[in-house]
Amino acid sequence: MGNLRATMNILANKRVAANLSGLGQITLLARDVLASLFKLRIAWRDMLYQVYFIGVKSQVVVLVTGAFTGMVLGAQTYFQFHKVKMDTATLAVVSVSMCDELGPVLTALMVAGRVGAALAAEIGTMRVTEQIDALRTLATHPVDYLVVPRIVAGHVALPVLTIESISIGIGSSYLVGVYLLGIDPVYSWYNMLHFTHDIDVVIGLTKAFVYGGMIALIGCYKGMTCGLGAEGVGRATTEAVVYSSISILITNFFLTLLLGKLIGQL
């Protein structure tokens, strides 16, 4: 029994050490990315392609997610507000919720599932086939050529996708509320404009900007540090999606508190 407990303690210590080591490695990777950005060592052509890959090719899943999220949120809000005769406030609740929380978070989760896995698999395959080592022999820094364009593209593409998600969510909620649930369109639209402020949109876009870089950074890190063979690439792909999703949810809490505090002091 004592030997089993000692073995479990050793395994737990090794797991903690591995997690701390991984956190340090991703911090060093972020430092290298910042250094490359300050020196403007960016492969612009690759960056434009990544904007297309992350942004344009993710539009369908983002628009579908935003539309049905807005419709469900609008319907559920109406069912509760109808009990207290506040039907026309439904769209205002949907608008604020989509701008502050649901728009950026759900968009980031959908993009993490699609893009995070793709980035980890692509770079992981390059690592397994020794293409990253070949870049080093050609005096090309892998961070400059592979990581930086993807992170910049993530920062650029995700706020745009978030704007689309927010717009389609509010629009779909309006259609459901007005044409299916019979909410007065004039007062509903007026209340939405009255209770939704510019700062709500700014908060959502700030979160999206952070999430875009986070997804790309984690996906690239998992790809560059994956194990050898098909099993290593598969594990890196899975971990990229899981870690990105968990990081988004945890970061969302702290960003909400931080941005709420800053807004309260203005």
How many beta carbons lie within 10 A of that of residue 153, not counting itself? Answer: 24
Whether the per-residue pLDDT at 25 is higher than 80: the answer is no
pLDDT confidence tier of residue 32, bands split at 50, 70 and 90: confident
pLDDT tens-digit map of 153-190: 999 999 999 999 999 999 999 999 999 988 888 988 99
More confident of the two residues 83 and 168: 168
Q: How far is CA 137 from CA 41, 123, 144, 229, in A?
A: 18, 17, 14, 22
What's the predicted TM-score (pTM) here? 0.87
Q: How far is CA 20 from CA 38, 60, 149, 244, in A?
A: 27, 37, 27, 17
For residues 158 and 212, the answer to whether their CB atoms sit within 8 Å is: yes
Domain that holds residue 84: 25-261
Whether the per-residue pLDDT at 266 is higher than 60: the answer is no
pLDDT of residue 155: 92
pLDDT of residue 9: 60
Whether the per-residue pLDDT at 52 is higher than 70: the answer is yes
pLDDT of residue 182: 86
How many domains, in total, are found in the chain?
1
Amino acid at 123: I
In a domain, 18, yes or no: no
Q: List the Cα angle 91/92/95 in 5-degree steps.
A: 85
pLDDT of residue 226: 82
Whether the per-residue pLDDT at 261 is higher than 70: the answer is yes
Whether the per-residue pLDDT at 263 is higher than 70: the answer is yes
Backbone CA torsion sign across 256, 258, 264, 266: negative
Helical residues (DSSP H) of the chain, grouped into ranges: 2-38, 44-54, 59-81, 90-97, 103-111, 117-128, 131-137, 142, 148-175, 185-195, 198-224, 229-265
Average pLDDT over residues 1-11: 60
Q: How far apart are CA 243 and CA 250, in angstroms?
A: 10
Q: Of 61, 52, 178, which Cα lies nearest the Cα of 113?
A: 61
In a domain, 198, yes or no: yes
Q: How far apart are CA 240 and CA 135, in angstroms?
A: 23
Q: How far apart are CA 25 and CA 225, in angstroms?
A: 9
In a domain, 177, yes or no: yes
Tokens of 195: 């209770």
In a domain, 10, yes or no: no
Q: Which residues make Cβ contacts (< 8 Å) with residue 63, sequence separation at least 6?
A: 164, 165, 168
Tokens of 229: 């063979």
Q: How far apart are CA 83 and CA 179, in angstroms?
A: 19
pLDDT of residue 167: 93
pLDDT tens-digit map of 100-155: 889 999 999 999 988 988 888 888 888 888 787 787 777 777 787 888 889 999 99
More confident of the two residues 105 and 45: 105
Tokens of 12: 């737990």
Average pLDDT over residues 74-87: 88
In a domain, 219, yes or no: yes
In a domain, 1, yes or no: no
Q: List the Cα angle 57/60/65 in 5-degree steps.
A: 130
In a domain, 16, yes or no: no
pLDDT tens-digit map of 202-241: 999 999 999 999 999 999 888 888 877 778 888 888 888 9
Lowest mean pLDDT among 44-53, 78-87, 123-132: 123-132
More confident of the two residues 111 and 36: 111
In the predicted model, what is the mean pLDDT of the chain? Answer: 85
In a domain, 12, yes or no: no
DSSP assignments along 204-265, one per residue: HHHHHHHHHHHHHHHHHHHHHTPPSHHHHHHHHHHHHHHHHHHHHHHHHHHHHHHHHHHHHH
